[in-house]
Amino acid sequence: MTATADQLIDQLTLEEQVSLLSGEDFWSLPAVPRLGIGKLRVTDGPNGARGSGSLIGGVTAAAFPVGIAIGATWDPALAREIGSAIAEEVRSKGAHVSLAPTVNIHRSVTNGRNFECYSEDPALASALAVGYIRGLQSQGVAATIKHFAGNESEIERTTIDSVIPERALREIYLRPFEAAVKEAGTWAVMSSYNKLNGTYAAENRWLLTTVLRGDWGFDGVVMSDWFGSRTTAPTVNAGLDLEMPGPTRDRGAKLLAAVETGEVARATVRQRALNVLRLMERTGALEDRGSFEERAEDRPAHRALIRRAGAAGCVLLKNEGLLPLPAEPGRLAVIGPNARTARIMGGGSAQLNPHYSVSPWEGLAARLGEARLDYAPGCDNHRWEPLLRTALTAEYFDNTELSGAPVHEEELDEAQAFWVPPIAGGKVTPGAFSARLTGTFTAESSGLHRFGLHSAGYSRLYADGALVVDAWSNWQKGRTFFEEGCDEVTGDLELERGQTVEITIEFAARPGDNLHLSAFRAGIGRPLGDAEISAAAEAARAADTALVFVGRSGEWDTEGSDLEDIALPGRQDELVAAVARANPRTVVVLQTGGPVEMPWAGDVAAILQAWYPGQEAGSAIADVLFGDAEPGGRLPQSFPVRWSDNPTASDDPEVYPGKDGQVRYAEGLFIGYRHYEAKGIAPLYPFGHGLSYSTFALSGLTAETATGGAMARITVENTGPRHGTTVVQLYVAPPEMAERPLKTLEAFAKLDLAPGERREIHLTLPPRAFARFDGDAQGWIIDPGRYRLMAGLSATDIHETMEIEMQAATLPL
């Protein structure tokens, strides 16, 4: 019989207890063979399970919809299904813990990681997080909810101090974490890189012990983000159980010394180790004696779920009767930079090597055949030049001068690498090696070719021996590779069609400033211009319907780099305008990780926001365009008309993007729809908005107080001619008083109804739905008075209202 965590803890020596408090390598904890304790292994999430490979390549895995696409489903039950399926993916990668979900709030519209998070609203984010965690942990795989807390931007994210009033923390930014602990019982929490009100999250005792363990009763593991802990005694004493990744930097011998000098109590080390053992017990790692194996399991059930979930998150923003397309649509012009490229996920630690990916072109062709489709790219939307995909021989040197004989040689199939230890089979020193990569490139057409290169480390690119790109001589840190890399450096070269040039890329590592990694990426592209936009307009003019696929990609929506604005990159706005002038039957399909400005919105017949819906992207989009599936999504984030309307637009850079190492959440509670309503700013598309292929009516809103809160009832009817999906949203407006939002989302329900079907639904409003956090009292207060309940189909589309009287009350933390 396997010993329990409580039985094992006191059998461990102090040294063995300390060994469990830091990683052995990038993805695992050390075993304790003496007691039969195996390795605990973790893997990145949240839209799949990458396994132990780097961010590039590795064993293939299923790519599920990203966080904001799950947020757009407004469907906690579906989130639970996804979590359960991803648990199977985690097991296929030999891991016990998923580093997911990501639940930071959409504070700004330009956060590079918005795609990975659910919503601007804490109630919606909380419900989805609870569903996802319950799904994961029902299969014995631990969730690691992240990033705790105040990581709402990617600018200087490893060092920035997020200054957030406690009331805003409690009511907004901590709320999904609290729900994860109290409702879902999450087994792990990841601390964020940033400081919170002056103290790094990984050593913030108020956050990790007072709130997390004291107020909420958390009994799991708190682990650092990768390289996100910086000290020994302060992190251990604050409540950080696990330093990741390994090998240790601040635990091990340093922690043993801290115990010896009395900086850390033996009882504290014991409790930290017990928390780790408990996590191992919960996930089966204590008794996992099997050999480590990673498998690529392309499951039909996962394919079907990803396709269904992708459609469920698609938001129909506008439709002037053009959608759904008929079964026989005539000729379709398929236009845009995202038409033949599958945009399935964002960038950073969430990315993985998918089993496959379906582009919109492939999804449409599978339904109609290519003979009915005409293609025109129109323009490009890349942030970096298209990746050079060619065979490269990489020679590694255990020095930074490319000198002497190479110590290791390997083959790459593309011009990018993300190196984490062990590098080159462990034959080079991380942070102090160099590499030379050689291959060839053959031009497919004549004209100007643009070569691009960026790197975490120094790099340069030669073509036939001539230096074309120099990212070495004047290297400066920029916004790539988690803020450890330079911005892309480019160089131009005229080439003839069929001309082959020899490519040589030289790289030398440099010590990381905050994260310890080495990486490079090289690409070659052909700039597009006026001729391509004109050709796209002509294709649209000749077609019955024009489908324009525009947006961004994981190059833009990525961890480690905020967006500079929310305009569509490149000349995409010009492209959409030109196509709309040529054909009024134009449908725009957007793929982005958040809002974009749409100066052409009034000129097109339909707009569909498809996000990054996973490996079945093109299939899910085609299902929605032709009405095989409902556009089931509703906006989880408000879309402003322009960037300057958003809650973090300010004349004070300290509010956003930050100044002198500090970002101040001066807007307090007024983010998202709360901001637009308080300021009287009309959004382009409001929070909760989304059209169905049917119509719905709400009636008969009633409510009565119950168990300190209230129970509301409302009738929903499908008044349209076909089966449809809608989301009933219930907002609560407080009695008039200062510093409270005019209304907040407190309950919702997603329904599928047949034509003419009526259904009464019940929506529970717990006491906290009426409460505010009082910092002086250090508790939740319900102010007495009449609260207004508002039921509708978006934050601005309210159908039914009523008032309910609430008595004064003080609620427990």
Annotated catalytic residues are 225
Is 154 in contact with 559 (CB distance < 8 Å)? yes
Maximum Cα–Cα distance across the chain: 81
Is 663 in contact with 192 (CB distance < 8 Å)? no
Is 549 in contact with 360 (CB distance < 8 Å)? yes
Tell me how many degrees the CA angle 295-48-672 measures, rounded to the nearest 5: 175
Is 547 in contact with 335 (CB distance < 8 Å)? yes
What SS3 string covers 335-394? ECCCCCCCCCCCECCCCCCECCCCCHHHHHHHHHCHHHEEEECCCCCCCCCCECCCCEEE
The SS3 assignment for 399 reads: coil
CA distance 471 to 490: 9
CA distance 47 to 70: 10
Is 23 in contact with 15 (CB distance < 8 Å)? no
The SS3 assignment for 102 reads: strand
Residue with tokens 């047949």: 754
CA distance 89 to 274: 27
What SS3 string covers 121-182? CHHHHHHHHHHHHHHHHHCCCEEEEEEECCCCCCCCCCCCEEECCHHHHHHHHCHHHHHHHH
The SS3 assignment for 188 reads: strand
Q: Which of 654, 648, 650 is nearest to 675 (CA)?
A: 648
Q: Which of 413, 449, 604 is nearest to 527 (CA)?
A: 449
Q: Which of 524, 512, 790 is nearest to 673 (CA)?
A: 790
Structure tokens at 157: 């994210």
The SS3 assignment for 28 reads: strand
CA distance 748 to 124: 8
In DSSP terms, which residues pair with 190 in a beta bridge? Answer: 223
What SS3 string covers 553-591? CCCCCECCECCCCCCCCCCHHHHHHHHHHHCCCEEEEEE
Strand order in the sheet with 758-765: 696-706, 709-718, 758-765
> Roughly how many angstroms between the first and final C-alpha of the chain, as a whole number?
40
CA distance 663 to 808: 35
Is 163 in contact with 179 (CB distance < 8 Å)? no
CA distance 122 to 669: 11
What SS3 string covers 657-698? CCECCEEECCCCCCCCHHHHHHHCCCCCECCCCCECCCCEEE
CA distance 308 to 325: 19
Is 48 in contact with 54 (CB distance < 8 Å)? no
CA distance 636 to 160: 26
Q: β-pairing, 489-495 with 447-456? A: antiparallel
CA distance 210 to 217: 10
